Amino acid sequence: MQILKLNNLTERYYKLIVNKTILLIIIILFVASCRKDGHPNLFISEVEWKEYSNEKIGYSVSIPEVYTVQEWENGRGVMFRLNGNQPMMLIRFGTEEEDKHRGIWYNHEPIKQIELAGISGEYYNYYHFDGPSGIHTRSYVISYHNKN
């Protein structure tokens, strides 16, 4: 049995090809996993509704029964997910300073004035970038207990 020994130049060339191949595979996987379109909407006529209440902040909202609820920051943030994994809606309760730090809507112009639960606010429609990728975001912002 003969073992082939690579010289330094051949070994470096081999490692370079392997490293570039691995990098190319990672880039292809990253690009292939990106989507421009969001998840399809539920048909409103088929939706069963339930009520979610956040007693810590003091609000309730009707949500589709198929949504699961994930709270964080002691109830100040709530994510509603379809089938337990697809984020569909987020309610966040924070100060203007906290929200500016998160970069949510402050760099965007409001599209129109809105009213939620009798409270005036603003509607934003933009792409929120968190790293190299972004997501189409619609934000309905109202002031509640001196927070947004």
Q: What is the pLDDT of residues 77-93, one digit of tens each?
A: 898 988 777 888 888 88
User: Does residue 135 register a pLDDT over 80?
Assistant: no
Residue 109 has a pLDDT of 85
Altogether, the residues listed in the chain come to a count of 148
Average pLDDT along the chain: 79
Task: Label residue 142 exposed, middle or buried (CB < 10 Å: 0-12, 13-18, 19+).
Answer: middle
Q: Are 88 and 39 in contact (CB under 8 A)?
A: yes
When pLDDT is cut at 50, 70 and 90, the band that residue 53 belongs to is very high
Give the pLDDT score at 69: 92
The answer to whether the predicted template modeling score (pTM) of the entire model surpasses 0.95 is no
Whether the pLDDT of residue 22 is over 70: the answer is yes
The answer to whether the Cα torsion of 112, 110, 86, 33 is positive or negative is positive
Residue found under tokens 């990253």: 30
pLDDT of 21 strictly over 70:
yes
The 10 Å CB-count burial string (b at 16+, else e) for 16-46 is eeeeeeeeeeeeeeeeeeeeeeeeeeeeeee
What pLDDT, on the 0 to 100 scale, is given for residue 95? 76
Q: What is the pLDDT of residue 51?
A: 94
Contact 114, 102 (CB under 8 A): no
